[in-house]
Structure 1
């Protein structure tokens, strides 16, 4: 069968099922999504990754134009769409549904960075129109806020658009963080993207990125059915500099052309339509699976005698209430575990700051102190201590957070399986035997305390600073400590004696350490927020949908007793399609 015929057959099936849902007061967000994805005019490519992973730089490099703001700190605060137009312009859409069109300017776009809070407060999203040849055939790039942004509302913006895009360029740097993998599993694989370009950016900072490719592929494919054959190691910055400076050696060193040519070839091929069809089929299968549970529940509930229905309905409500409490308990456990983690991190950071202050004191205690070299000595010492702690402990917190993810996923899977078993008692379908066979699938999963006690002990004994792997902070936190020192020496070095300078420098470090610690805890909090979001998505939504359908069934039984037989016939007709 031709690709276009397969596509039309799939859409016809979606339309048929939806036509039978509406009279029965049923709906499916997934079927709505398939129809939306099919109807939209643009082929949307979203660039996803943690902040400072270089998403905006990669877009700039692909388009060979430095248009989007880039920074070590979060720079993309709003979804930014980049589309083709003969007439360059920028369209700003506001939350009140108004729009403003301004003349295209690189400087104006860069002024809309995450640091410009006042200007961004009322903006919903930004559209950039420019005559980029690559985007001519309705291809649209989407730049997104970082998935570990400290502003949860900005992360939410990214998650909301992902189900409605056609292709994802997933950007990471080394080391790959636990949060990074979690976002990939939940929001890329969870939205049924079978084709994803994974880009390892900033290879200019790595001694030999080729040695890391196999490790990264294994991380992204571990326990997953997706096949990833290639990770594109690139340096977007080197490529841009090479283009602008006409430096062929820098362009070659960046390895960017290998990635861009693969992307261009994919966009020109029919493979993108085949991938889209595969995703639609997967979505349709998931929609039918979900609807089958709900429809079977409604059929049996409408068919039961009133007394038996009330008894089973009360039992299910009781179980759903219990599952809701279990979900809330999971969230409490996550909060508690992260509180423990934050406490240990704060203790270790206090130790780090104390060691830095002791080292500064020793520098100034030297009899042969050269006041002109003190600043460099202090900065070098801060960086060395920072890097030593990172190298020694970078996997500890990452493993700790990963163990929380795995524990919660196991508990979510078990809770959902038990819910299905409870529903099967009412609907008398084949799910019962499956649920009984698998009801203890997660019984041997260690508890949070059992799994993490060793990790926490190691973390406490080392006192380590292991946040690079879990939060992707690069060297930004060290800069928080170093910058006030540089500013101080710039203005005060020649005015004071060594003793006075020492006291002032230590005071600056102590003040800066407050923001230093806040920055780190804030980044760790994004992992906690992601886990809680995951619980709500996986369990709360499922419980809410079942509860909603039970209420509809109760209403139907009271209001339309005489029509129950005809509804059962219609529902069985629908069930035969699923």
Structure 2
């Protein structure tokens, strides 16, 4: 069936490790040859962080009893030769559960009590308060202990209707969606609000994050899950049961929480699970397959997706087949078909995005380093012309040359005041951009939205309130783009003037493009607009629920704005570092020219020696340029080539 998801993820991990190693070698080489200015160093740090911390999140979404946890077991945990996630009858995931790996945290299961819903903090803030979570240590080498610990995510508790109502599990206005009360009137609710599992599973260590979500009631009651975690997943696996097809609650999850108007076919897969329930000994294999095909076509039609995005599997038989090494049963379960779709869709897409971002950064880094080498080359060429012009000249001419260089140096030192004035104007304009994208601006917008949502009767116009907020946010990004355009024009004019007056080769770095952050806002707005439908009107009428939704929005927006600010900071550093580097090189150049004149004055042979040194230095720059091209070329190599080279001995530092 081709490369499975697990195998492709292994390859992706190997590529990331090899890339990080080569990036470190490039950094050390640049430092050894005095080419590591502040902008290049910042770009290297960001690249290393991006590659090392790159995560791939796969969200598994389904109504209760669709075999979701069993599917996770069969794809990711079959190596344990038993069930790890609770998937037996009466045991199912009751709270959103994230499985990942953080080397700084010991293997453990952390559980956030459901009562935290009564407090205003968003989930992101609770993550930063580990003492508020119940922690269970895990032994990754003991599969029985793991399975027993993971059963805690299926724990429930019974509460009064009032408490269930306060926690978002009982709604007087929609009685048909409420759970059945026990004879004593109590309501069964999840014991935990969220679970984080940290284990050193090979795939999790390489950056995979698995999000296991419970049914419709729990999804709808947790805005941060719906508007943040699921939309940001790189792939969503939506699971149906083959024997029931698309039920009313399945369709509600799909329409309200998953489908968008810009649906990416490669990132959303529909799994028609439990096809083994159709394996009927009274029907021929052909008849069974015809039944499965009909259910597949019907499900695709109801959900509005292409038929090839609906994949029939038997997670339970797939797990049994893997545990027992039964190739025939594994093929019948069709689990490899799903794994292939995940590997080609999710991993292929993720690698393309990451490689695209890396290629842009490596190319810009190479350009910046090459510019520094060109400045050195140009300075050597000027010195060569100067020195060759001294051949056969007497001491008075040489002395006059020294006086001229010293005067040039004094004139150049005066330029510092002009450059300082330019930087002052530059920083003033930059502060405007930082203010437009800063925390204070976003807090003000979120407070205004909260105030609007708290107004009586606003619920009919809740979409409009959100729409106006996003319009203002977009307008802020456009103002930031206009201001950055003014800064870019000023830099271009100033750099041109400095190039003319002092022979610099300054080139303004590429201006930040805020249009992509506008597109990010569009995505965030769509995920929230989807949540503001009629189905949630009653929830939105509750002030505490509306507040929770706004806090979830603020968490998501913070990521967008921090990325935009990061790009502005890098742009600023690139401009400043370029200017600093050329000022530094020019001062060194003056020092070298005066030293050369002194040597020529002291010995007749000094002139030819210095010309020979310059020729040698020019040859060294050629070698440095070639090595820079080689080292950055390795980083731009496709993953397969990089991984293959990784088996060879490490690069020698030049």
Which category of TM-score, normalised to the shorter sequence, fits these structures?
A: 0.3 to 0.5
Structure label with greater radius of gyration = 2
TM-score of the aligned structures, taking structure 1 as reference length: 0.48
Of structures 1 and 2, the one with the larger relative CO (CA 8 A, separation 6+) is 2
TM-score of the aligned structures, taking structure 2 as reference length: 0.43
